[in-house]
Copies of this chain bind each other. A is one copy, B any other.
Amino acid sequence: MTNSTKQRREVILTSAYRDGFVGVRQLADELSVSEATVRRDLHGLATEGLLQLNHGGASVIRGSDHSFLSKLTQNVEAKQTIARLAAQLVCDGEQLFLDSGTTCFAMTAFLRGKRGLSVIVNSIRTAQELHAPGLNVLILGGQYRPERMDTVGPMAGASMDRLRGYLAFVGTDGVGMDFGLTAIDIESAHIFGQAVGNARQSILLADSSKFDNPGLYKIADWAAISKVITDKRPAEAWCGFFAEREIELIYPQESSLPE
């Protein structure tokens, strides 16, 4: 009946999305294959990000996304440091844009205390985290990407185009002196580029590992950036580069104690 791997996995996915959960035992029975094979299938589907493995089977990925949470725990200190510095630039009553990356996500904790903010986001996660009294959250519409919990595409772009005069905070997957700031996926690059283009002022958040490691897709040119926040003083070449372009470079003072 279902003799090829592909067909079998198709059946598994269908079951999984219908019921929310599939068991190894039942699948092995239904498909007339060994449990070992089912496990291999589930493992394969899990590494493709289509299912989440559990004891006894696998389930569809819902809300609390694991890839996001795992990224969230990389470079935690650097992100926290940057996020705190970034939040200090925000006054009460301001309008902001936050991108869907984890560095901007880290800012949410520091922003909840502010008054009368309007925050534009394309990340569902960030939106939910920003829930606080006196805080107005605007989600950009568009194509929903469950694995990233954000919205992208032309509809997001059209929404973005109706907004101006905000302060944009964008992270990046890497920056190069010649190529500007970049992202790994083209959808994000496009929407963030637009966000930067329409902003009153754009601030780049980049931890030290991002320098000289450009990604594939360009977000924006350096000309669009007015400030860069990072976790420690970058190499001299970069300091000079920023000075030349009158980009303000912000990093923690040596004297400030790590809390």
Residue numbers in B under 8 Å from A4 (CB-CB): 21, 23, 54-57
Can you list 15 A-B pairs, Cβ within 8 angstroms, ordered by A?
Answer: A6-B55, A18-B112, A60-B131, A62-B128, A127-B144, A128-B146, A131-B146, A137-B143, A137-B144, A138-B141, A138-B143, A139-B141, A140-B141, A141-B155, A141-B159
- Residue in B closest to A13 when the chains form the complex, CB atoms: B133
- Give 3 closest A-B pairs by Cβ, nearest first: A141-B141, A4-B56, A131-B146
How many copies are assembled? Answer: 2
Q: Which of A21-46 contact B (CB under 8 A)?
A: 21, 23, 25
* A247 part of interface (Cβ distance < 8 Å): no
CA distance A55 to B31 in the complex (A): 17
Residues of A in contact (CB 8 Å), total 51
Q: Are A5 and B56 within 8 A (Cβ)? A: yes
* A47 part of interface (Cβ distance < 8 Å): no
Residue numbers in B under 8 Å from A258 (CB-CB): none
Residues of A within 8 A of B (CB): 3-7, 10, 13-14, 17-18, 20-21, 23, 25, 50, 54-57, 59-63, 109, 112-113, 124, 127-129, 131-133, 136-144, 146, 149, 151, 155-156, 158-159, 162
Q: Smallest distance from the beta carbon of A14 to chain B beta carbons, Å?
A: 7
Q: Are A3 and B56 within 8 A (Cβ)? A: yes
CA distance A133 to B186 in the complex (A): 21
Q: Are B142 and A138 within 8 A (Cβ)? A: yes
In the complex, which of the residues B13, B113, B144, B146 contacts A14, with contact meaning CB atoms closer than 8 Å? B113
CA distance A63 to B62 in the complex (A): 19
- Residue in B closest to A135 when the chains form the complex, CB atoms: B17
- Residue in B closest to A129 when the chains form the complex, CB atoms: B62
Q: Smallest distance from the beta carbon of A232 to chain B beta carbons, Å?
A: 27
Residue numbers in B under 8 Å from A159 (CB-CB): 141, 155, 158-159
CA distance A146 to B137 in the complex (A): 9
- Residue in B closest to A56 when the chains form the complex, CB atoms: B4
CA distance A18 to B87 in the complex (A): 13
CA distance A56 to B4 in the complex (A): 6
Residue numbers in B under 8 Å from A143 (CB-CB): 136-138
Residue numbers in B under 8 Å from A55 (CB-CB): 4-6
